[in-house]
Amino acid sequence: MAKRRDPSRRPQGGPQPEQLDRKQPAKEASDSHGAPQLSDIPKLHARRQERSSSMSSENAQLTPSAASGLEQANKQYLEGVEKYVRALSDGQLSLSRSWEEAQKNHMKSMQSLQEEMQNRWQEIVKNTSKSVENAASQPDAQTRYLDSQRQYTNELRHLYNDFQTRTADANRQLVTALEQVFKDSENASREAFRNYLKSVQEAWAQVDVNALGGGS
């Protein structure tokens, strides 16, 4: 089983919960496949402008049909790159929001549980105080007093065990929720990369290679 981390601590570059040891899906996809990075968005417009200028000169040596096809392919390719990078950016934002929502729900659950435990503890103390007070006027006061003490101890032990069990359940629910967040993010990143590859294939499939190479 992978090493577990503190779910309350937010890692750099993307949230990671307790009991998860995963890299950022979006970043992992872009790094491992050599695809564009999130920081590339401002550069893409400049690249398009440079390519357009360069291709205008190159296209002058091509037939009108070949030049038009190459220009259209280049435009479609750069649009695909921009869509992919934006998809990664949107995925990172969605991942962060989902992480925060899961943490928020966990904190609400824990706060509610602590309030319940506090009320139950106060009720135990109140009932024990009454039992001790009533025992003082009874012939077997000492026995009643000891019984009250044992009951107090047992109820506190039960309260503590209940708190521990329900806290563990809440933590497991948090981890499960965060695991699903990362799974959804990974799936979205893979889908974005598949769409990127598809756009690249479609862009350059329309180019007549022979015409670009000056073939007859």
Q: What is the tens place of the pLDDT at every residue in 5-28?
A: 444 444 444 444 444 444 444 444
> 10 Å Cβ neighbour count for 49?
10
Mean pLDDT rounded to a whole number for the chain: 77
Average pLDDT over residues 97-106: 94
> 10 Å Cβ neighbour count for 84?
23
Tell me the C-alpha distance between 140 and 46, whole Å.
Answer: 93
pLDDT at 32 over 50: no
Most confident of 76-85, 107-116, 207-216: 107-116
User: For position 106, what pLDDT does the model report?
Assistant: 96
pLDDT at 44 over 80: no
The pTM of the whole model exceeds 0.75 = no
